[in-house]
Amino acid sequence: MGLESFLPETPQGNATAADVLTGYTFSSAAAGVGVSGSMPNQGSISQNLAGQPGKVTGAAGYYSSILVENANYWLLAASDTTARSGIGAAYDSSANLTYAVDGYTTTGIATVTAYSHPSNAWTAEASDTTARYGLAAAYDSSANLTYAIDGATGGFPTVTAYSHLSNAWTAEASDTTARTYLGAAYDSSANLTYAVDGSPGSGTIFIVTAYAA
């Protein structure tokens, strides 16, 4: 029994020249025997949208790699449900929500809203227990709490904490320095939340305090 006994008498398959990369030959029932592929080899493509919203298009063919980046570009998200200034903002990684906390309209307010990127929508959350503006906010991933720190509250270094799980605020130990328009950040390696600089009412200060939950 010769090897030819195992070979099909006619080519099989439905590939056409457009399905096979140029420079290669193939045989199929649809195209015949020893047909040259005609799919263009486009090589690799790399493009940075860089402020160009939408999509990247390319000519038909084979691509060895495609890299599309969307760097240096701001997208317009859904507007907050409350217009205000002087808010605290923090991202809660456990809930995948960004909180806008308190702020100023004609006075300090205690309104808290949450933005969901997947749904591009804002929802109302439980109000802070302290109406204020010029505060800072930071999310503590170890405690699963979002802290609202200091701000214009009548001179008191008030700190409150929001739990997404219970949708409620609780009072925390007061900061040792009363101030507004400060910065805040959580350090996961040290498990500390820092309150940085700010204004004590007039001028500026460069005091840094750290809170351990």
Give pLDDT, residue 146.
Answer: 98
pLDDT-derived band at 156 (thresholds 50, 70, 90) equals confident
Residue 13's CB is within 10 A of a number of other CB atoms, namely 12
151 in Cβ contact with 199 (< 8 Å): no
pLDDT, tens digit, for every residue of 32-87?
Answer: 999 999 999 988 888 776 655 556 777 888 888 887 776 666 778 999 999 999 99
Distances (CA, A) of 158 to 88, 108, 147, 148, 191: 13, 14, 10, 8, 20
Query: At residue 200, what are phi and psi to the nearest 5 degrees?
Result: -80, 5
pTM for the model:
0.68
Q: Domains, the chain, ranges and CATH?
A: 11-69 (no CATH), 88-211 (2.120.10.80)
182 in Cβ contact with 163 (< 8 Å): no
Euclidean distance between CA atoms 17 and 36, whole angstroms: 6
Give pLDDT, residue 76.
Answer: 85
User: Mean pLDDT across the stretch 135-156?
Assistant: 93
Find the helix or strand (DSSP H, E) in which 139 lies: strand 136-140
Residue 176 has pLDDT above 80, yes or no: yes
Range with the lowest mean pLDDT among 2-6, 44-48, 56-60, 170-174?
A: 2-6
pLDDT, tens digit, for every residue of 83-114?
Answer: 999 999 999 999 999 999 999 999 999 999 99
